[in-house]
Structure 1
Amino acid sequence: MNLSGKSVAAALRFWKIEPEQALLVHDELDLPPGTARLKFDGGHGGQNGLRDTIRLLGHGRFHRLRIGIGHPGHKDRVVGWVLGKPGKDDDILIGRAIDDAIDVLPLVVNGDVNEAMKRLHTSKP
């Protein structure tokens, strides 16, 4: 089990940040490599780090930056997929998704999450 919720909760307390003001970045099996999505609120969707964070915070009301890593095709291969190194093509796509997300972070920091979502979620040519 991923116990990252302990670190998230401690950081929020230390920096006196409300969860609703936080942005958590995580891998997302349900998005193809090369996809980045912003989201606010919700459940853990099977993501163990989010599961632990929600358990410790008592809710899921925080911003998420979801970076797609794709799915290996069978549930028995998920752990190795998540913990393993992506293939060359997927690695390039994941890197591009991270770059796209970095480009919109100033909007998020300045409170214009809707514009950040619009830009990030719009298909690139």
Structure 2
Amino acid sequence: MDDTLKVSDAEAAKVAVAPRVTLDDLEGSIASEHYIRANEAVTTSQGDAHGDTTEDALACLTLCVLVTKSGFTVTGESARASPANFNAELGRKFARGQAIRKLWAFEGFALRKRLAEAA
């Protein structure tokens, strides 16, 4: 898990006086997570496997797809500028962190909607 997410959640918990979306809420809403390296999944618009794309560039792009228990999907991505700096574990960590941040925004919207409807 991304340490900055844990810190953000802990800081918010200290000052919260109303319902909020927690990191535990987010983790509990995830049914599955999937990781893809772009070079393993790419098809060009012409239908060929790689076309003019650069294998090294695509190999540096990691995608994370989080599927929630409701069936909603959220994606995150991580890319390295240099293939020499690519680290698969860090790529997955950073891509997942970005996907969690996106999910946090969606869950925040849903919570705000529920609070407004209850008012």
Q: TM-score, normalised by structure 2?
A: 0.29
Give 1 or 2: higher strand fraction. Answer: 2
Higher relative contact order (CA 8 A, sep 6+): 1
TM-score, scaled to structure 1: 0.28
